[in-house]
């Protein structure tokens, strides 16, 4: 027993000694690509690289390859990593290893081609950093790209960052699973502020301010998503998106399943608050709860169909305040009219028989009226009769979708 205890004690001392031997490296400024990469190559798991205040120029990516794990690169106040003119399009950082951290870095892309940071690995974190001015028309790029096109990209986190003025997307995800994007300010990017695309499943998008994006009309919305399952969008503010909707389910690659959209503020966007495009793919098992959708130029929440169906919906959506759109059994739109109203309101259930549940809430979110309609064609929405003057949110739930539209009642 004494020998076993001594063995365990010795093992503990060895582990403690190993942990205590983590090295902190310092990179003075100005520095070039070669000096920076040399420190990265020397670093072992647990080591920290501190970038001193000043400019650190990179012409080829600073690479943390597979097997280069648990390294932290941190900037002092005033430290700026600057992409410099290079002979080929490249990101500033490429991270294929795992459990690495980029912290307190300002990355100025210099409006040069490609992304600022590309992450291919797992369990990596970008925190408290600013990433801006990455990409141009010759080599489009995101501020931060999480890409599982060639590796198992998963479980990475972007937290507490400012991502802005990038030529394309602020934070872009492609085949990135179980990732977290939270507590960021993502604004004034040329395309979407955030994308969750192409099998980027089970992500968590929480408490981000996604503001004034799509400045160059290169994206599909403030947030764009396509072929993703199980993602949760919660407590984000997505506002003042140029040209497009706040949150767009693009569905070019595939439909989305099991996505939860809750407690978000989707306001003052040029398109809809939430847009679902039903092309050859449709969304299934979606949840939309407790979202604020105010001041969006085309309306609150809608489904637009491809082909002839799309033409029908677009044609009847010219006056957005006059219409709420949900899905009828035959794929046509459900119309709520007139709006504003001083009296009766009708809901057109389309050509095929359908059941629609309607709830009406006041501008404080309190449930005022409920009604269930069954059948086809125009139906009298008795629940709206006799409402006091004011603004209400009418939620229409059908077997295929949920739509919420502002209803204005006048005298």
Mean pLDDT to the nearest integer, 365-388: 84
CA 221, 225, 228: angle at the middle one, nearest 5? 170
- Provide the residue range defining the domain that includes 233: 23-335
The DSSP element (H or E) to which 5 belongs, if any, is: helix 2-20
| Residue 138 to residues 89, 90, 115, 141, 219, Cα–Cα distance (Å) | 9, 12, 12, 10, 17
What mean pLDDT do residues 279-288 have?
Answer: 86
CATH number at residue 329: 2.160.20.10
pTM of the model: 0.73
Q: Tell me the pLDDT band of 352, cut-offs 50, 70 and 90.
A: low
Q: Alpha-carbon distance 46 to 282, whole Å?
A: 46
Per-residue pLDDT averaged across 326-349, rounded? 65
Question: Would you say residue 411 lies in a domain?
Answer: no
Print burial letters for 279-301: b (CB count within 10 Å at least 16), e (below 16).
Answer: bebbbeebebeebbbeebebbbb
13 domain-assigned: no
> Using CA atoms, how far apart are residues 152 and 96, in angstroms rounded to an integer?
9
| pLDDT at position 203 | 96
Does some domain include residue 361? Answer: no
Does residue 14 sit within a domain?
no
pLDDT for 327 beyond 50: no
In a domain, 66, yes or no: yes
Query: What is the structure's pLDDT at 278?
Result: 81
CB atoms within 10 A of CB 386: 9
Q: What is the mean pLDDT of the chain?
A: 84
The answer, yes or no, to whether residue 81 has pLDDT greater than 80, is yes
Q: Percentage of the chain with pLDDT > 70? A: 85
Q: Name the β-bridge partners of 93.
A: 62, 117
Structure tokens at 185: 């300010």
pLDDT at 85: 83
Q: pLDDT tier at 359 (50, 70, 90 boundaries)?
A: confident
Return the pLDDT at 350: 64
pLDDT at 4 > cutoff 70: no
- How far is Cα 336 from Cα 383, in angstroms, rounded to an integer? 13
In angstroms, the CA 140 to CA 114 distance is 5
For 310-343, b/e burial (b = at least 16 CB within 10 A) is: eeebeebbeebebbbbbbbbebbbbbbbebebee
Position 392 in a domain: no
Would residue 381 count as lying in a domain? no
Give the range with max mean pLDDT: 93-102, 253-262, 322-331.
Answer: 93-102
Q: pLDDT of 143-178, one tens digit each?
A: 999 998 777 899 999 999 999 999 999 999 999 999
pLDDT at residue number 77? 96
Residue 8 Cα to chain centre, angstroms: 48
- How many domains does one find in the chain? 1
> Dihedral sign, CA of 198, 180, 239, 140?
negative
Q: Is residue 211 part of a domain?
A: yes
CB-based contacts of 84, cutoff 8 Å, min separation 6: 33, 57, 58, 59, 110, 112
Residues in the chain: 411
pLDDT exceeding 90 applies to what percent of the chain?
58
């Amino acid at each position: 027993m004494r020998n076993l205890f001594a063995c365990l004690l010795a093992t503990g001392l060895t582990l403690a000694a190993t942990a205590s031997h983590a090295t902190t490296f310092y990179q003075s400024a100005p520095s070039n690509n070669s000096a920076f990469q040399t420190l990265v190559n020397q670093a072992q798991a647990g080591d920290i690289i501190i970038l001193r205040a000043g400019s650190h120029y990179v012409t080829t990516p600073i690479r943390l390859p597979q097997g280069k794990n648990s390294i932290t690169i941190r900037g002092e106040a005033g430290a700026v990593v600057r992409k410099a003119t290079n002979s080929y399009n490249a990101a500033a950082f490429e991270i294929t290893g795992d459990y690495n951290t980029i912290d307190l870095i300002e990355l100025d892309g210099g409006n040069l081609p490609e992304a600022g940071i590309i992450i291919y690995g797992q369990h990596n974190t970008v925190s408290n950093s600013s990433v801006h001015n990455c990409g141009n028309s010759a080599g489009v790029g995101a501020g931060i790209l999480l890409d599982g096109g060639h590796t198992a990209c998963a479980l990475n986190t972007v937290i507490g960052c400012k991502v802005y003025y990038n030529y394309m997307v602020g934070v872009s995800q492609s085949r990135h699973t179980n990732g977290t994007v939270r507590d960021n300010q993502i604004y004034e990017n040329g395309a979407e502020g955030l994308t969750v695309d192409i099998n980027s499943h089970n992500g968590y998008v929480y408490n981000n301010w996604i503001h004034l994006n799509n400045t160059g009309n290169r994206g599909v919305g403030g947030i764009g998503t396509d072929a993703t399952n199980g993602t949760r969008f919660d407590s984000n503010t997505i506002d003042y998106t140029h040209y497009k909707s706040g949150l767009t389910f693009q569905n070019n690659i595939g439909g989305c399943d099991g996505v939860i959209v809750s407690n978000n503020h989707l306001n003052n966007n040029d398109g809809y608050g939430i847009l679902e495009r039903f092309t050859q793919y449709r969304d299934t098992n979606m949840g939309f709860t407790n979202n604020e959708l105010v001041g969006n130029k085309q309306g609150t929440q809608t489904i637009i169909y491809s082909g002839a169906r799309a033409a029908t919906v677009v044609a009847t959506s010219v006056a957005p305040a006059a219409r709420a759109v949900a899905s009828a059994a035959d794929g046509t739109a459900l119309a709520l009219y007139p709006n504003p109203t001083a009296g009766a309101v009708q809901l057109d259930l389309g050509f095929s028989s359908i059941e629609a549940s309607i709830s009406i809430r006041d501008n404080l979110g309190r449930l005022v009226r409920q009604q269930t309609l069954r059948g086809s064609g125009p139906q009298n929405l008795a629940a709206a009769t006799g409402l006091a003057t004011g603004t209400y949110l009418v939620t229409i739930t059908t077997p295929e979708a949920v739509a919420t539209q502002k209803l204005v009642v006048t005298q």
